[in-house]
Amino acid sequence: MLAAILVSLRPAQWAKNLFVLAPLVFAQRLADPAALLRAGLAFGAFCAAASALYLVNDIGDRREDARHPLKRLRPIAAGRLPLVAAAAVATALAMAAAGAGLRLGGPFLSLLGAYALLNLLYSAGLKRIVILDVMAIGFGFLLRVAAGGAAIGVELSSWLLLCTIFLALFLAFSKRRHELMLMQEQASEQRSVLSHYSPAFLDQMINVVTASTVVAYALYAVAPETARKFHGESLVYTVPFVLFGVFRYLYLMYQRPSRRNPTEAILRDPPFLINLLLWGLAAIWVIYS
């Protein structure tokens, strides 16, 4: 049962909560021990909340998941994790997340609560409304970044918020396309909103948000306020890493499709991970040098 619980928590998905740490990096607070501790606690709170929500979602979707080629292997859908145990773990994680939120203050707790409410609304009905389902996913990433700023008490850059929402929409539309291609004719049976999407329409949306993501980051890198904050325009040299990361993601999605969704695939792709590491090192060097 412990193994089933661990799988149901989906620790691989905690990587999405790294967006909580973005304000810490770009606000030049990595050398501040107090800010590091608060940001780490904020990251942990979102991981606990996300896992609790995954359990709640798996309980509610267990019948639909049982018909999915991959989701049927999830412990709750497969019957390996009893519903009572899953509910108890979800409750404990929610309480832990709330406790961490109280330690970090009212603004952070409000944003964490908004994130939880958004996910519950998504599971209750937003995931069945075309376009709005993807927008809800994107807003979840925006709340992560905003909460990270609230945790350490820094004002967020408009550029950071724009880059976040465009990148989140890029990932969300890509996920919808993967689901549609994986399930084919049975897609709408497993997720009703997929009946409103088509590969051509999703490709158009992906093209729009891909271009928006790259342009927003490039404009942020050369913006006058960025140059003043980081004492130069050296951040522009990190743009090639962003381009490679986006292109590699698209390559994996279109040229090397697999049963795993693209977000999971990149976490197992050495070229993408190496590029991500190099971008992180380059960005930190520019911001802190």
d(CA 108, CA 222): 30
Q: Per the structure, how many domains does the chain have?
A: 2
Asked if residue 87 and residue 24 are part of one domain, the reply reads yes
Give the mean pLDDT of 174-199: 78
Q: Is the pLDDT of residue 74 over 80?
A: no
Q: Which residues of 227-264 are buried (b: 16+ CB within 10 A; e: fewer)?
A: eeebeeebbbebbebbebbbebbbebbeeeeeeebbbb
| Residue bearing tokens 């960005």 | 283
Q: Is the pLDDT of residue 61 over 80?
A: no
| Residue bearing tokens 């996913």 | 137
Q: Does 259 or 211 have the greater pLDDT score?
A: 211
Give me the domain span that covers residue 234. Answer: 157-289
Report which residue type is found at 115: Y
Confidence of residue 189 (pLDDT cuts 50, 70, 90): low
Q: At what angle do helices 106-124 and 33-60 cross, to 10 degrees?
A: 20
CA distances (Å), origin 191, targets 159, 177, 203, 241:
34, 12, 19, 35
Average pLDDT, the chain: 88
Percent of the chain with pLDDT over 70: 96
Position 188 scores a pLDDT of: 60
Provide the whole-model pTM: 0.87
Q: Which of the given ranges, 42-51, 57-66, 191-200, has the highest pLDDT on average?
A: 42-51
- 232 sits in the region (left: phi over 0; alpha: psi -120 to 50; else beta) called left
What does the pLDDT look like over 210-240, one tens digit per residue? 999 999 999 999 888 888 888 888 899 999 9
Three-state DSSP state, 50:
helix
Asked if residue 185 and residue 125 are part of one domain, the reply reads no
d(CA 265, CA 253): 9
Give the mean pLDDT of 81-102: 91
Asked if residue 229 and residue 118 are part of one domain, the reply reads no
DSSP-derived letter for residue 232 is S
Q: Is the pLDDT of residue 187 over 70?
A: no
CB of 264 closer than 8 Å to CB of 272: no
Of the three residues 99, 129, 155, the one that is the final residue of a domain is 155
Of the three residues 101, 122, 155, the one that is the final residue of a domain is 155
CB of 227 closer than 8 Å to CB of 191: no
Asked if residue 81 and residue 213 are part of one domain, the reply reads no
Q: What CATH number is attached to the domain comprising 53? A: 1.10.357.140
Asked if residue 84 and residue 202 are part of one domain, the reply reads no
Instruction: Single out the residue of 62, 170, 168 nearest to residue 115, CA to CA.
Output: 168
DSSP string over 152-196: HT-PPPHHHHHHHHHHHHHHHHHHHHHHHHHHGGGHHHH-GGGGG
Three-state DSSP state, 203:
helix
Q: Is the pLDDT of residue 175 over 70?
A: yes
Asked if residue 177 and residue 80 are part of one domain, the reply reads no
Position 185 scores a pLDDT of: 64
Give the mean pLDDT of 82-99: 91
Of the three residues 155, 181, 200, the one that is the final residue of a domain is 155
Give the mean pLDDT of 80-109: 91
| Maximum distance among all Cα pairs of the chain, rounded to whole angstroms | 57
Three-state DSSP state, 250:
helix
Q: Is the pLDDT of residue 261 over 80?
A: no
Asked if residue 126 and residue 103 are part of one domain, the reply reads yes
Q: Is the pLDDT of residue 119 over 80?
A: yes
Position 186 scores a pLDDT of: 66
Report which residue type is found at 165: I
Q: Is the pLDDT of residue 259 over 80?
A: no
Position 247 scores a pLDDT of: 94
Asked if residue 144 and residue 55 are part of one domain, the reply reads yes
Lowest-pLDDT range of 96-105, 253-262, 272-281: 253-262
Asked if residue 280 and residue 151 are part of one domain, the reply reads no
Lowest-pLDDT range of 98-102, 131-135, 259-263: 259-263
End-to-end CA distance of the chain: 48
Position 82 scores a pLDDT of: 83
Lowest-pLDDT range of 15-19, 73-77, 165-169, 209-213: 73-77
Q: What are phi and psi of 230, to 5 degrees?
A: -105, 10
Asked if residue 143 and residue 26 are part of one domain, the reply reads yes
Give the mean pLDDT of 53-60: 86
Asked if residue 143 and residue 34 are part of one domain, the reply reads yes
Position 151 scores a pLDDT of: 95
Q: Is the pLDDT of residue 190 over 70?
A: no
Asked if residue 125 and residue 2 are part of one domain, the reply reads yes
Q: Is the pLDDT of residue 47 over 80?
A: yes
